Amino acid sequence: MRSQGQVRFITITSRMQMVAAGLAVAVVGGWGLSVGVMAISQYQAVSERLSLLEREAHVATAESRVKAYRDDVNEVATDVGRRMDFIEKVLPMLPDDVVAEETVSDSSGEAAKTVEKVSALMPEAAAIARIEQRQLALVERLTRYADRRAARAEAAIRELGLDPRAMLRASRTAQGGPLQKLSTESDGSLDPRFQRLGLSLARMDALEQGLTGIPQVMPADMNMISSGFGYRSDPFTGGAALHAGLDFRGQIGAPIHAAAKGRVSFVGIKSGYGKVIEVSHGNGLMTRYAHMSAWRARVGQEVEAGDVIGAIGSTGRSTGPHLHFEVRINGRAVNPRPFLETAPHVLEEARTDTPERSTAKNGAARG
């Protein structure tokens, strides 16, 4: 390098070149592996759905059901009873305001043929056939409804800058318990239309649970924000420093509210933060409330968005009474303000079936 008439040399040894090449290969390999895992996961999900649709088309034919009635009417009646048991077990997962006008698969035509043929061949079984017809119609409508709610929740999560796939993966971890297989048929199998309903409800539940854990309620008076997220002049040293949250001015003893539904994971004192409460919201999301004068929650306690969990103070590294509020995703601090300002509106839209009906309950920011 030539500078002001002088020539300087930088020597890159073979060892340094090998290390740099190794790092580049590792980075490219890691990226390729992650892309491959995502592609395999998506392929498996698509394959599973296509397989279910093929099986649905097979079992929906009127001929197959008429044959089952001819073989053993009592066995069909038992199958219908098992299906009702299945429906009763999954219905509690649905909200009270179920509205489902569309269907995923449509068995109505074949079911009507089944009723017609069974009524002609075996009048004594006509009532069972009609009940089965109603069951299938209900299952397909509920499946479409669950898919529609899941799609709204997924869109809301993406709009807030989060990854719904990560939430779905997290919902599958830390699971267990005794095996209790569900079946709708006498041979112990599960009708694919009922299986599809179960999968759709599980997806809907996981995504909507993820929504409830997104910070959406102001932890203190939003008009009293005294310091934002990012680099600022440190109040003690005067030098540049990263401020990992929002500061809310307030009187000592003023209430501090949980920003979202979650479980209290820490109550205690941390260096620089003073008295602290941390709330885990699942999916790697955590909120931290610092400089408290008093705690109003205990470790392991379940809290709802807006619950009072502490009081404003000036403990720790603080120049005066205020709340220091942080949002962390997998341990990394992110700006809380976009969540608090955007989430209430996004979540209200996600929870609303029609423009006339709004089921949002926890979306209002406190100001």
pLDDT, tens digit (0-9, with 9 covering 90-100), for 23-39: 776 766 766 666 666 66
Q: What is the pLDDT of residue 63?
A: 72
Cα–Cα distance, 170 to 306 (Å, whole number): 25
CA 270 – CA 214 distance, rounded (Å): 24
Checking if the pLDDT of 153 tops 60, the result is yes
Predicted local distance difference test score (pLDDT) of residue 36? 63
Residue with tokens 């709204």: 152
Residues 109-117 have a mean pLDDT of: 86
Four-CA torsion 271, 276, 280, 286, nearest 10 degrees = -60
- Amino acid identity of residue 110, one-letter, is E
Please state whether 334 falls in left (phi above 0), alpha (psi between -120 and 50) or beta: beta
Per-residue burial over 42-64, b = 16 or more CB atoms within 10 Å of its CB, e = otherwise: eeeeeeeeeebeebbeebbebee
Q: Which residue has the higher pLDDT, 171 or 300?
A: 300
| Mean pLDDT along residues 294-307 | 94
Confidence class of residue 224 from pLDDT cuts 50, 70 and 90? confident
Residue type, 168: L
Q: pTM of the full predicted structure?
A: 0.59
| 305: pLDDT strictly greater than 80 | yes
Specify the amino acid at residue 344: P
Cα-only R_g, the chain: 29
Distance (Å, whole) CA 153 – CA 350: 6
Q: Dihedrals φ, ψ of 227, to 5°?
A: -155, 135
Instruction: Return the top range by mean pLDDT from 1-15, 112-126, 278-292.
Output: 278-292
Q: What is the mean pLDDT of the chain?
A: 77
Placement of tokens 């089921």 in the chain: 359
149 pLDDT higher than 60: yes
For residue range 230-263, list pLDDT tens digits in order.
Answer: 777 777 777 777 788 999 999 999 999 999 999 9
